Structure 1
Amino acid sequence: MKRVTERRTYSYLGPAGTFTEAALDQVPEARGHEWRPVHNVGEALADVLEGRSDAAMIAIENSIEGGVSTTLDALATLPGLRIVGEYLVKVNFVLVAAPGTRIDQVQVIAAHPVAYAQCHGWLGAHLPQHSHVPASSNVASAIGILDGSLPAEAAIAAPGIVAHHDVEVLAEQIGDNDNAVTRFVLVTRTTAPAAPTGADKTSLIVELPVDQPGALLELLEQFSTRGINLSLIQSRPIGDELGRYRFVLDADGHIHDERMADALLGIRRFSPRVVFLGSYPRADRKIVHYPERYADEVFVEARDWLRALVAGAPDA
């Protein structure tokens, strides 16, 4: 008898043609299942928490703008979520308009704020007198100029927009950085981390206990003294009072690694609140290297040595 595969649902920032959809297209297990377009990160995560979707693809970091604040704040405040994978999408933009529009007719440009920020240089050089109308997504900016819901003559969008809508491309490659990349993460309800691959990343959100000299250094030392590299350190205001921050951290390695587990114990003793976001394969599949003195067996041997001492064994 042929096995019937349960149909799954994946939420993503829609509609079709967004960079988020391109990221979701990189997930093999998502192909052939239902893709649910949503309006924002909050809606995507609510879909997961409330059971409408099995997972959500959301943008978490951009190589130009840094961490996506709405995503980081949502992950910090919504319990019950876990990152299970990350995906990289090369970011490039085109300027589009309704068919028949000339670039010299463009005075107002519709664009998502992040996309707009990444095209400042080109816009300043080619359309210095333009004004900007914000849109909820790159696709929404194009739809807005076509249906008249946005008061603009042109829109900044992803190149894939031409496959979904009847737009005319006024200019290509308008991004200021040809190497721009956005990192996306696939988020599910809390689940046990998958087995380590050797090319893994662990994401955390950590609050400092008090605002005092050396507090951040003490936090970072939990990793440095165990040979763990941090690939992302970003502060976000907690919001309860001025000067209080939480830190978003990406650490090279997996929670099943002895050195990472030991660091997490140190973090837990140090911080009043730690949010474990997940251990998952790196998008680039780059193997994590570390000095031999931080190998798993070194931590195991040290722990066994201490247990033997406590048990009364001679100090060998």
Structure 2
Amino acid sequence: MTYAYLGPEGTFTQAAVRRLLPRTRKVPHQPFPTVPAALDATRRGDCEAAVVPLENSVRGVVAVTMDQLVSAGMHINAEVEVPVTFALMAPEGVRPQDITRVFSHPHALAQCERWLAERLPGARAQTAASTAAAAQEVAAAGAAGGAAIAAPPAADLYGLRILATGLGRDARAVTRFVSVAPDWSRPTRTRQDRTSLMLSLGTSGPARVVDILTEFDTRGVELAWIQSWPTGERLGSYHLFIDVEAHIEDPPVKDALAALTALGLGVRFLGSYPRWGAVTA
């Protein structure tokens, strides 16, 4: 199996692939420049699955992944959480006072904005497709006043020198990644499964949220995550992403989904899979 991931080498997404498959590091994984490109490769069959970032504990959901989940018709087969720590890195000879531009992924720049404002107030933030792409770009430019914010291992990969660490707003920051594929692979059930769903609220919009919560609550199904996402059709028109702490084949979940369908809501199953850290039964 070949895994597609947001590259280049040295991204947090590559770390997620390796953490998801700790016993099979030799499984091929291929970098792609963007999340949509990684998912396109999976849809075409060039790769069997793609690992993509879904949400961060500091900055919330990753917009491009949410958009792709709405439109791509993919299924989630696994999840993994990766601690996120950032380092400022630059080519040899570049001092902090020399830095005029700082490159990184938008989520990383946002998490480090306070540090940048205090330590490098004169530097201009510039976005890159990924943290490792930022390191690669800075390395290629040489000593031209540029620096990158990336995972510490990226410094060695691209021949950069770490100037500072611990840049993020919260040292406990974590990003949740998911492994997605066109088909649901029916992962081995555990006692700690999670089911991801996408609900279309229809013309009633947010007024149906109470009904949705009630159907799960009355059946004792615990919700782990709920996120609205615009359909793009008009103001007030939303999809609702929901994670429940149960398996799709559990009777209470089946009953709740049948009830929601009877209410006229669109229900799309995204996948049931072990929660990160769950022990296979």
Please report the TM-score for the alignment, with normalisation by the length of structure 2. 0.94
| 1:134-189 deviation line (CA, Å, top 9, x unaligned) | 11110111111121299751111111112311101110111110110000001122
Is 2:18 aligned against 1:42?
no
Map 1:1-316; keep pairs closer than 5 Å. Answer: 8-28=1-21, 30-79=24-73, 81-148=74-141, 153-211=146-204, 214-285=207-278
TM-superposed deviation, 1:192: 4.8
1 or 2 for the larger relative contact order (CA 8 Å, sep ≥6)?
Answer: 2
Q: What is the alpha-carbon distance in structure 2 between the residues aligned to residue 242 and residue 212 of structure 1?
A: 10
**Percentage identity across paired residues of the two chains:** 37
> Is the Cα contact below 8 Å between 1:206 and 1:271 reproduced in 2?
no
In structure 1, runs of 5+ residues without a counterpart are: 1-7, 288-316
Backbone CA RMSD of aligned residues: 1.9
* Bigger mean CA deviation after superposition, 210-219 or 103-112: 210-219
Q: May I ask how many residue pairs the two structures share in their alignment?
A: 279
> Is the Cα contact below 8 Å between 1:233 and 1:250 reproduced in 2?
yes
TM-superposed deviation, 1:253: 0.7
In structure 2, the CA distance between the partners of 1:215 and 1:152, relative to structure 1 (3 Å rule), is farther
TM-superposed deviation, 1:66: 1.1
Amino acid at match of 1:35: H
TM-superposed deviation, 1:214: 3.5
In structure 2, runs of 5+ residues without a counterpart are: none
| 1:257-307 deviation line (CA, Å, top 9, x unaligned) | 1111111212222344222110000003289xxxxxxxxxxxxxxxxxxxx
> Is the Cα contact below 8 Å between 1:203 and 1:251 reproduced in 2?
yes
Q: What is the alpha-carbon distance in structure 2 between the residues aligned to residue 193 and residue 73 of structure 1?
A: 24
SS at match of 2:166: coil
Q: What is the alpha-carbon distance in structure 2 between the residues aligned to residue 247 and residue 182 of structure 1?
A: 20
Q: What is the alpha-carbon distance in structure 1 between the residues aligned to residue 195 and residue 258 of structure 2?
A: 14
Q: What is the alpha-carbon distance in structure 1 between the residues aligned to residue 193 and residue 205 of structure 2?
A: 33
Please report the TM-score for the alignment, with normalisation by the length of structure 1. 0.84
Q: Say which one has the larger Rg.
A: 1
| Segments ≥4 residues shifted beyond 4 Å | 149-152
Q: What is the alpha-carbon distance in structure 1 between the residues aligned to residue 37 and residue 79 of structure 2?
A: 19
